[in-house]
């Protein structure tokens, strides 16, 4: 890895969210000076962190006053709610990025790290291993908005790095991981033992280390990287890991996958079936080849269990 040779003042947008709270502290503990900005004010208490409140990104915002204070930007802020309208996704995830990118060019920002999503590349499942060389095929408004923002950044005359993380887990995670955690706590057998389709997932610790890596690596400029744990895991393995971390037996029943698929589709939950019963392999080969060393190899490592159930 060829390191960028200057001290970094990093603006992190979306700092109050699940990902932002961990990332801001992670960078501050590694001697970055961090400007933590978010719409929902959250006060970090660390000498390397400055707290700043942003307006709602649906309204216009003058980024330059913040950008003149920093060397680099990690743009996390955005809309991920699956029930939002295309117009709202466009306003928050595309127009706000265009405004930020224009300001970054005017201010001479040294690097914009844009946190996109694997949804910019693929739907909830894939029959083939995904790579950065594949043609993007987003299947929903969220993914299309993320891809549109990527295209804006690539077309701009600024140094950038684009990250496409898969679904993340860690302390205070949300969505499917929070649901699995609640299921794992139930004092009953669960009918998910047959759900063996491999899924790429990402530790919040590994994501943060990937951001740290691309902030330092000059060879990451102008590149797009999938970010995931090196080893994939199935839903059955994840639930078993949660239960073992709680001191319980896995206690998973082998109900045929077809039955689960039929029930979920009957309940009009085909999307849920794709997320738990179908494969999605997006290995981080390109990032590993650049020299990134993950801090956690797999969800199934013991420290991953502990972090996930705290």
Q: Check whether 5 has a pLDDT greater than 90.
A: no
pLDDT of 308 reads: 47
pLDDT in tens, 138-158: 999 999 999 999 999 999 989
Average pLDDT over residues 53-77: 89
Of 284, 294, 287, 297, the residue nearest 233 (C-alpha) = 297
Whether 56 and 41 have beta carbons less than 8 Å apart is answered as: no
SS3 category, 71: coil
Q: Are strands 111-115 and 160-165 parallel, antiparallel or unpaired?
A: parallel
Q: Check whether 207 has a pLDDT greater than 50.
A: yes
Q: Is the pTM of this model over 0.85?
A: yes
Q: What stretches of 36-193 show up as alpha helix (H) in DSSP? A: 64-67, 86-89, 96-107, 141-155, 175-185
pLDDT in tens, 170-194: 877 777 788 888 888 888 888 889 9
Q: Check whether 3 has a pLDDT greater than 80.
A: no
SS3 category, 32: coil
Instruction: Write down the CATH superfamily of domain 9-170+203-228+281-295.
Output: NAD(P)-binding Rossmann-like Domain (3.40.50.720)
Quote the radius of gyration of the chain (alpha carbons, Å): 20
Residue 254 vs residue 8, higher pLDDT: 254
| 80 — pLDDT class (breaks 50, 70, 90) | confident
pLDDT in tens, 85-110: 888 888 889 999 999 999 999 999 99
Average pLDDT over residues 262-286: 90
Question: How far, in Å, CA of 78 to CA of 16, rounded?
Answer: 12
Q: Check whether 134 has a pLDDT greater than 90.
A: yes
Please report the sign of the dihedral spanned by the C-alpha atoms of residue 52, residue 55, residue 56, residue 62: negative
Question: How far, in Å, CA of 93 to CA of 87, rounded?
Answer: 10
């Amino acid at each position: 890895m060829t390191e960028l040779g200057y001290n970094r003042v990093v603006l992190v947008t979306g700092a109050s969210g699940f990902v932002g709270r961990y990332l801001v502290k992670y960078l501050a503990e590694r001697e970055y000076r961090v400007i933590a900005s978010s719409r929902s004010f959250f006060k970090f208490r660390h000498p390397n962190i400055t707290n700043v409140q942003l307006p709602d990104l649906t309204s216009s915002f003058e980024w330059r006053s913040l950008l003149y204070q920093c060397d680099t930007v990690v743009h996390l802020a955005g809309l991920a709610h699956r029930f939002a309208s295309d117009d709202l996704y466009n306003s928050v995830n595309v127009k706000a990025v265009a405004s930020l990118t224009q300001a970054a060019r005017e201010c001479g920002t040294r690097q914009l790290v844009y946190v996109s999503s694997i949804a910019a590349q693929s739907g909830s499942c894939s029959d083939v291993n995904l790579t950065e060389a594949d043609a993007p095929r987003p299947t929903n408004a969220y993914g299309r908005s993320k891809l549109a923002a990527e295209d804006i950044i690539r077309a701009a005359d600024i140094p950038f790095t684009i990250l496409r993380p898969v679904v993340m887990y860690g302390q205070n995670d949300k969505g499917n991981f929070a649901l699995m955690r609640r299921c794992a706590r139930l004092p009953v057998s669960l009918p998910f033992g047959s759900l063996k389709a491999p899924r790429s997932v990402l530790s919040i610790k590994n994501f943060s280390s990937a951001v740290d890596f691309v902030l330092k690596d000059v060879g990451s400029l102008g590149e797009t990287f999938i970010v995931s744990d090196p080893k994939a895991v199935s839903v059955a393995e994840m639930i078993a890991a949660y239960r073992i971390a709680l001191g319980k037996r896995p206690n998973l029943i082998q109900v045929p996958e077809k039955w689960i698929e039929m029930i979920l589709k009957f309940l009009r939950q085909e999307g849920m079936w794709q997320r738990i019963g179908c494969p999605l392999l997006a290995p981080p080969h390109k990032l590993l080849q650049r020299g990134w060393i993950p801090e956690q190899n797999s969800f199934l490592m013991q420290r991953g269990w502990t972090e996930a159930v705290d």
